[in-house]
């Protein structure tokens, strides 16, 4: 990408607009966060203590909305973390829905399991699979999921996309967290490989004929696409 001062001003303006939208969305989501109760509070506290970046309140509310709109019974999550996003997804899913969540750190999954319990979810509502996502995902059932939420290694997002399309039923939804990369995705400066992967992901999702995508201005950018 190339650009001069005009583009720099545009990028700064975009960042300010993005921050405003997310901050306003967080205010609207305050009630939703409160409804998450002790489980959500516990999950966020542990995420911050572990120096992890959980989904923002606005992103969490959006995930709940999308899971509810999809009538999701089966959801796959790449990146359990301490359970923040999982609680929001479970709150939007059908009462008999099951969340399958993958993370390379078993200790984080134990934190998430405790947070889910504190949030009032029965143990059979979540299936925890420890391991590297690209080794676990091929073992999951083709066309068996209504929604796939990706919040793992940014450098692996293109591979997650391929696996997600295999996992999703027609009409299913895939979501990628953090695609704005704190504004670096649109900056002209030289960027690390993970940011270049995000740019390629955005191009790929836009060009795939079987996908109907949109980029939502919540958190650090939530890229969503429906599999036609």
- The answer to whether 52 and 81 are in contact (CB under 8 A) is yes
Looking at residue 190, what is its pLDDT?
81
pLDDT at position 16 is 55
**Beta partners for 213?**
225
Q: pLDDT (tens digit, 0 to 9) for every residue of the chain, 228 residues total?
A: 334 444 444 444 555 555 555 665 555 556 566 666 899 999 999 999 999 999 999 999 999 999 999 999 999 999 999 999 999 999 999 999 999 999 999 999 999 999 999 999 999 999 999 999 999 999 999 999 999 999 999 999 999 999 999 999 999 999 999 999 998 898 878 888 999 999 999 999 999 999 999 999 999 999 999 999
Look at strands 168-177 and 98-103 and give their pairing: unpaired
pLDDT score, position 188: 77
The answer for residues whose C-beta is within 8 angstroms of residue 139's C-beta and 6 or more apart is none
133, 206, 207: which is closest to 163 by C-alpha?
Answer: 133
- Backbone φ, ψ for residue 83 (5° rounding): 105, 5
pLDDT at res. 165: 97
pLDDT score recorded for residue 37: 85
Tell me the domain boundaries of the chain: 5-227
Topology adopted by domain 5-227? Rossmann fold (3.40.50)
User: Which long-range contacts link 154-160 to residues 24+ away (Cβ below 8 Å)?
Assistant: 154/178, 154/181, 154/194, 154/195, 154/197, 154/198, 155/193, 155/194, 155/197, 156/197, 157/197, 157/198, 157/201, 158/197, 158/200, 158/201, 158/204, 159/134, 160/78, 160/133, 160/134
């Amino acid at each position: 990408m190339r650009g001069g001062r005009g583009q720099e001003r545009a990028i700064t303006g975009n960042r300010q607009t993005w921050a405003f939208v997310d901050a306003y969305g967080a205010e609207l989501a305050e009630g939703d966060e409160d409804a998450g109760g002790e489980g959500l509070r516990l999950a966020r506290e542990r995420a911050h203590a572990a120096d992890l970046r959980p989904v923002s309140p606005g992103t969490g509310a959006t995930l709940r909305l999308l899971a509810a709109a999809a009538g999701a019974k089966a959801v796959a999550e790449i990146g359990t973390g301490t359970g923040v996003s999982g609680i929001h997804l479970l709150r939007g899913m059908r009462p008999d829905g099951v969340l399958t969540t993958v993370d390379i750190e078993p200790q984080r999954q134990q934190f998430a399991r405790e947070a889910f319990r504190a949030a009032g979810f029965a143990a059979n509502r979540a299936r925890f699979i420890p391991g590297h996502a690209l080794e676990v995902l091929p073992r999951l059932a083709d066309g068996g999921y209504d929604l796939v939420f990706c919040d793992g290694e940014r450098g692996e997002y293109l591979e997650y996309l391929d696996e997600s399309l295999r996992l999703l039923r027609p009409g299913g939804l895939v979501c990628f967290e953090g695609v704005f990369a704190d504004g670096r995705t649109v900056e002209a400066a030289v960027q690390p490989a993970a940011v270049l992967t995000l740019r390629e992901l955005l191009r790929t999702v836009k060009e795939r004929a079987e996908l109907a995508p949109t980029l939502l201005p919540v958190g650090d950018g939530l890229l969503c696409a429906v599999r036609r």
